[in-house]
């Protein structure tokens, strides 16, 4: 993504922005899923 972002081509910069946003969404989703599993009652009872 860094190479796309540093490119002079505007379409490369647009792709970089989309990929950065997509990665942020994925990271957020994974964090929510991990927290949900961590807070599960079954896990807490062990």
Residue 43: per-residue pLDDT: 64
- Supply the DSSP symbol for 7: -
Give me the count of residues in the chain.
46
Residue 27: per-residue pLDDT: 98
Residue 9: per-residue pLDDT: 87
Write down the H helix ranges in the chain.
2-6, 10-38, 41-45
In this predicted model, what pLDDT tens digit does every residue of 1-46 receive, in sequence order?
Answer: 667 677 788 888 899 999 999 999 999 999 999 999 888 877 666 5
Q: Phi and psi dihedrals of 41, rounded to 5?
A: -60, -40
- Supply the DSSP symbol for 40: -
Predicted TM-score (pTM) of this structure: 0.68
The closest of 5, 40, 36 to 19, measured between CA atoms, is 5
């Amino acid at each position: 993504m860094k190479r796309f972002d540093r490119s002079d081509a505007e379409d490369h910069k647009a792709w970089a922005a989309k990929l950065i946003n997509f990665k942020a969404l994925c990271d957020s989703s994974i964090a929510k899923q991990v927290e949900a599993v961590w807070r599960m009652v079954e896990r807490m009872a062990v």
